[in-house]
Amino acid sequence: MGKIWGFTLIELMVTIAVLAIVATMAAPAFNNMVLTQGLNKSTQTLVSTFNEARAKAVLERRAIKVELKSDSIGIPNVNTATQLNWQPESKSVLKSTSPTALLFNLNGGVCITDNSTPPACQRVVDANMDIFEICEKAGGSKSKKVSISKMGTVQQTQTGTC
């Protein structure tokens, strides 16, 4: 009789058990990686939204408002001619102590604004810079900070904890 090629039931069960153990160990690390990627993307889009608003304000010689949503739940972003919107990616959230709206004026400067129509400056950016902190998730441990100067210069300053 010829040799039969294949796997026995025991070999298949051992292989599946090993794969299950490896998957169980990898799942938390994968979840952490997804949260970190969401935080990185949220930070990058915030910086690019600020830069876009500043460039648009200077180019079009009119005030541009940037509205910041605190989380990714809710109404999708709809940008207009005088307003850009930003919301975090994935499970990331904007820390509640951060301002929620900015107004870029026609020379590229920036001030904190309220939700009035038309938007008006509520206060000038504090101590030469205002800081926006994005957390990886509500109650998360990782955060990234984005600072903006009075003149509208944007930079990602540091990684911290929420």
Local confidence band at 1 (pLDDT 50, 70, 90 cut-offs): low
Average pLDDT, the chain: 83
Q: Does residue 123 come out as left (phi exceeding 0), alpha (psi in the -120 to 50 range) or beta?
A: beta
Predicted pLDDT at 56: 92
The answer to whether residue 162 scores a pLDDT higher than 80 is no
How far apart CA 115 and CA 85 sit, in angstroms, is: 13
- Tell me: the pLDDT tens digits for 131-151? 888 888 877 788 898 888 888
- Tell me: the pLDDT tens digits for 91-134? 888 887 777 888 888 888 888 776 666 666 766 665 556 788 88
Sign of the CA dihedral with 52 first, then 54, 57, and 60 last: negative
Predicted pLDDT at 111: 82
Ordered by where they begin, the domains of the chain are 9-160 (3.55.40.10)
Predicted pLDDT at 120: 67
Q: Is 69 helix (H, G, I), strand (E, B) or coil?
A: coil
**Of the ranges 10-24, 65-79, 87-101, 105-119, the best mean pLDDT one:** 10-24
Beta strands, E only, 24-153: 64-68, 83-86, 93-94, 101-104, 110-113, 121-124, 129-135, 143-149
**Of the ranges 10-14, 23-27, 157-161, the best mean pLDDT one:** 10-14
The distance in angstroms from the start CA to the end CA of the chain is: 69
The answer to whether residue 22 scores a pLDDT higher than 60 is yes
Local confidence band at 54 (pLDDT 50, 70, 90 cut-offs): very high
Whole-Å CA distances, 46 to 73, 97, 116, 131? 16, 16, 22, 12
- Tell me what percent of the residues of the chain surpass a pLDDT of 90: 24
- Average pLDDT, stretch 76-82? 76
